[in-house]
């Protein structure tokens, strides 16, 4: 699994990720000036309830920086539930929320369906592309036996 929180967070920030509710840029200034948390897209409490593999849901593939306030609103609910709550409470429209989430390189449709497996594979692929772009070369072995064992699918 991906191990380096610092590298992934740095690349997500440089990529242009924004806070889920405010649309505020999650840049290095806001990261240090505001109370920013590393959040699970599929929250730990929900993943434990669903008996998902801890090595997957607690990996960097399922994490991203957001403000502490947004993290408290998200809580431990399924993505579909917290997304509905954010929209219903008037924080943002569905279109804006989808756009904000997409800046974190996630499959928003899979999140709306609470489809962890699809979300996880697609996010892993997106992060590998981000890493590949940052390095200026391709990440290899994306369909090797070790990848298939750890992720359950090729990451091509």
pLDDT at res. 48: 98
pLDDT at res. 121: 97
> Is there a contact between 18 and 30 (Cβ–Cβ < 8 Å)?
no
pTM for this predicted structure: 0.83
Q: Determine how many CB atoms are found less than 10 A away from the CB of residue 43.
A: 21
State which residues of the chain have pLDDT below 70: 1-16, 26-35
Structure token digits, residue 129: 């592309």
pLDDT at res. 2: 47
What is the three-state SS of the chain? CCCCHHHHHHHHHHHCCECCCCCCECCHHHHHHCCEEEEECCCHHHHHHCCCCHHHHCCHHHEEEEEHHHHHHHCCCCHHHHHHHHHHCCCCCHHHHHHHHHCCCCCHHHHHCCCHHHHHHHHHHHHHHHHHHHHCCCCCCCCCHHHHHHHCCCCC
pLDDT at res. 130: 87
């Amino acid at each position: 699994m991906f191990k380096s929180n610092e590298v992934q967070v740095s690349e997500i920030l440089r990529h242009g990720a924004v806070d889920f509710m405010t649309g505020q840029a999650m840049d290095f200034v806001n990261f240090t000036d505001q109370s920013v948390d590393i959040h699970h897209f599929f929250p730990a409490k929900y993943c434990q309830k669903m008996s998902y593999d801890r090595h997957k849901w607690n990996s960097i593939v399922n994490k991203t920086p957001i403000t502490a306030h947004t993290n408290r609103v998200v809580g431990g609910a399924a993505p579909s539930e917290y997304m509905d709550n954010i929209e219903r409470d008037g924080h943002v429209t569905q279109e804006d929320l989808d756009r904000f989430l997409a800046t974190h390189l996630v499959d928003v449709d899979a999140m709306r369906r609470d489809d962890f497996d699809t979300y996880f594979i697609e996010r892993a692929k997106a992060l590998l592309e981000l890493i590949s772009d940052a390095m200026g070369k391709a990440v290899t072995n994306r369909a090797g036996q070790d990848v298939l064992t750890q992720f359950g699918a090729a990451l091509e």
